[in-house]
Every structure is written in C-alpha cells, then in structure tokens.
C-alpha cells in the first residue's frame, strides 16, 4: 500500500525534475545565415552567462528533425527571443516569420542591430541593442549581457518561490493528513 507520504515524495520529485530545467533561461536566436560568422562571438559570450541555454538552428537542429515544427516549439518554449537584425535579416523570410511567431506568443523580444537597418513593422516600437555604432558597441554589449543576466536572476527567484510554495503545500497536506 502506498502511503500518503510516498505519494507526496513521488509528486515532489516529478515537480523538482521539471523545476530543474525551469531555472535555465532559454534563449532563441533568430538570424540570417549570412550573418552567422558575425554573431558567433557575441553568442559565445551570451552562452557563457551561467543559467542560459541558447538555441541556434545552425548548431542545435538535429538530423531528421522537422525544421519548422522544431523552430516553432523552441520559440514557444523560449524565455527570450534574440533577433540579430540586419539587411540580411530584413530580407530573410525565415527571420520575419520567426519574429511573427515570437510576437504571437508574447515573447520578450530583444533586437540586436548589426548594421544601420532599423527594425520596422512588428518591431518598430521595440528598444534595441545597437551594435552598428562602433563607438557604443562595448556599452551596448554590456547592456545586452546585463539584460540577460537580470532575466536569469528573475527566473531563479521565481524558481525559488515555486519551490517554497510546493514545500508549503506539502507540509500543509501532511499536517491535514495527521488530523
């Protein structure tokens, strides 16, 4: 016979397993393949921020995966949608579709300008990181890294609150069971 305590332990362990991944800030990276070499150094620094996991189609799409469905799923599960915006991205149907999916799923969108092309249409009122101005590039990169680190901290705080809530519910259930 399964006791109440054993059932509670099983439920908690399943929730804890889900929470382990919930502490990771998932970042979807949208870009034009023509800009890939320019963005790799930036992504290397972003990936080095503890608590982040980036999805870059070029590196993360597995052989035999359904490309469109995988990309849609990754955008939907992302916490932040980074779009490296340039003339190439502006002309890319894929980038424009990914922006639409991110907007439609109310994702936090952070455009990063690689050249003088500024976002239009769906991103017109979105504040962006401007890497096209070399004089401001270092300050803008620091701003981008701070933005990501702040979101990692927020996600971890939320994870801790969820853990405390689960613990409180468990203790409450155990106390009710003893009565």
Residue 151 in tokens: 């979101």
pLDDT value for 153:
86
pTM: 0.74
Q: How many domains does the chain have?
A: 1
Q: Is residue 3 part of a domain?
A: no
pLDDT value for 54:
92
Q: Is residue 170 part of a domain?
A: no
Average pLDDT of span 54-67:
80
Q: Is residue 59 part of a domain?
A: yes
| N-term to C-term CA, the chain | 20
Q: Is residue 159 part of a domain?
A: no
Q: Are 166 and 174 in contact (CB under 8 A)?
A: no
Q: Is residue 1 part of a domain?
A: no
Q: Are 55 and 26 in contact (CB under 8 A)?
A: yes
Q: Is the pLDDT of residue 112 over 80?
A: yes
Q: Are 102 and 81 in contact (CB under 8 A)?
A: yes
> What are the Cα distances from residue 111, in Å, to 89, 117, 126, 158, 160?
11, 11, 8, 25, 29
DSSP reduced 3-state for 129: strand
90 or 120, greater pLDDT: 90
Q: Is residue 17 part of a domain?
A: no
Q: How confident is the model at residue 173 (pLDDT cuts 50, 70, 90)?
A: low
Report the CATH number at residue 100: 3.40.50.10140
Q: Is the pLDDT of residue 8 over 80?
A: no
> In percent, how much of the chain has pLDDT > 90?
44
pLDDT value for 174:
62
Average pLDDT of span 30-37:
95
Q: Is residue 74 part of a domain?
A: yes
Q: Provide the domain limits for residue 119.
A: 25-152
Instruction: Show the 3-state SS of 151-166.
Output: HHHHHHHHHHHHHHHH
> What are the Cα distances from residue 158, in Å, to 26, 48, 82, 132?
15, 22, 22, 35
Q: Are 148 and 52 in contact (CB under 8 A)?
A: yes
Q: Is residue 84 part of a domain?
A: yes
pLDDT value for 19:
41
């Amino acid at each position: 016979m399964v006791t109440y305590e054993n059932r509670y332990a099983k439920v908690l362990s399943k929730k804890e397993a889900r929470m382990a991944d919930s502490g990771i800030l998932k970042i979807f990276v949208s870009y034009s393949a023509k800009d890939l070499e320019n963005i790799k150094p930036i992504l290397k620094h972003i990936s080095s921020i503890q608590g982040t996991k980036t999805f870059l189609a070029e590196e993360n799409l597995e052989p035999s995966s359904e490309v469109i469905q995988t990309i849609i799923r990754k955008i939907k599960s992302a916490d932040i949608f980074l779009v490296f915006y340039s003339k190439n991205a502006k002309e890319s149907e894929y980038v424009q579709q990914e922006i639409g999916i991110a907007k439609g799923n109310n994702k936090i969108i952070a455009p990063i300008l690689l050249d003088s092309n500024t976002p239009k249409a769906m991103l017109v009122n979105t504040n962006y990181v401007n890497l096209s101005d070399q004089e401001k590039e270092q300050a803008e990169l620091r701003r981008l890294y701070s933005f990501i680190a702040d979101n990692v901290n927020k996600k971890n705080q939320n994870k801790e609150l969820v853990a405390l809530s689960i613990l409180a519910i468990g203790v409450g259930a155990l106390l009710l069971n003893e009565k």
